[in-house]
Amino acid sequence: MDARPAKLELRAITHVFGSGRDIGVTAVDDVTIHVPDNRFVSILGPSGCGKSTIFNIVAGLITPSRGQVYLDGVNISGMVGFVGYMLQRDLLLPWRTVLDNVILGMELQNVRKGRARERALPYLRRYGLAGFERQYPAALSGGMRQRAALLRTLLYDTEVILLDEPFGALDAQTRAQMQQWLLQIWADFNKTIVFITHDVEEAVYLSDQVVVMTQRPGRIKAVLDVPIPRPREPAILLDATFITLKQRCLELLAYGQDAGMPHDAGANGVPGGA
């Protein structure tokens, strides 16, 4: 575990959908996560294990049944506007140009339109959208649309950014390019990123730390550090360390529902054998 104090901390979060006479669905069960400043942390877990619910809680859109969210030590549970959030199905507005889509977050933060455009333009040019600033989203490829949506999230002026499966719908080659692009842009932006994926290779490749979850109700199965130096090139996919970590994640996911493997007692006091 990283010894630095947490930038973002999820403390014993449990969330049950439905209440009263409705039988509740426990989506997330006792999830504690420490995200250190400027780190890239992935949450890896099977579909339906509560990953997006966790993000909705961190973003303040859902108040958890139990537990709290802290940002720099301040309880922000149930409060919106403290983190940038790219939803799993984040869409660009078809009636706004690429530039005006990218400045949407800044506009919500009351930055004047002219000023926001001025700020966004160099980023669009530097990060692969030169020439498309005045186009509408329909003119863009899938990868470009994701770049625009990611830039919009990054330009929203918060230190913590949540990305929910941003590359899930892309083909393998575009996805690999986008991962490379994201690492480059992250190095420039000085942000703390929490990234959701169900793709093991993507989680290990991008992250400093991978939080592996069980099937629903989502609990933390293990927290793995990724001691691979940066900058990372695609060639690391063949490194022994990379392959071992990938294997470890696959085993943890395969054992997600049963008693698990005792030596996987991870950080956060999660007993591997529980």
Residues that bind ligand ADP (CB under 6 A): 17, 25, 27, 45, 47-53, 216
Q: Which residue has the tokens 């590359």?
A: 167
- For ligand ADP, the closer of residues 153 and 214 by Cβ is 214
- For ligand ADP, the closer of residues 101 and 197 by Cβ is 197
Torsions phi, psi for 53 (to 5 deg): -60, -40
Max intra-chain CA distance, the chain: 57
Q: How far is the CB of 116 from ligand ADP (least distance, A)?
A: 31
Handedness of CA 155, 161, 162, 164 (dihedral sign): positive
Picked from ligand ADP, Mg ion, none, the partner binding residue 49 (CB below 5 to 8 A depending on kind) is ligand ADP
Q: What is the dihedral of CA 82, 84, 90, 95, to 10 degrees?
A: 90
Q: What is the DSSP letter of 218?
A: B
- For ligand ADP, the closer of residues 53 and 158 by Cβ is 53
- For Mg ion, the closer of residues 162 and 182 by Cβ is 162
CB within 8 Å of 153: residues ≥ 6 apart: 84, 85, 86, 90, 105, 161, 163
Query: Could you tell me how many residues make up the chain?
Result: 274
Picked from ligand ADP, Mg ion, none, the partner binding residue 166 (CB below 5 to 8 A depending on kind) is none
| Contact (CB, 8 A) for 244 and 228 | no
Q: How far is the CB of 11 from Mg ion (least distance, A)?
A: 22
Is 53 a binding residue for Mg ion by CB under 5 A? The answer is no
- For ligand ADP, the closer of residues 18 and 273 by Cβ is 18
Is 158 a binding residue for Mg ion by CB under 5 A? The answer is no
Q: How far is the CB of 93 from ligand ADP (least distance, A)?
A: 23
Which positions lie near Mg ion, rule CB under 5 A? 51-52, 88
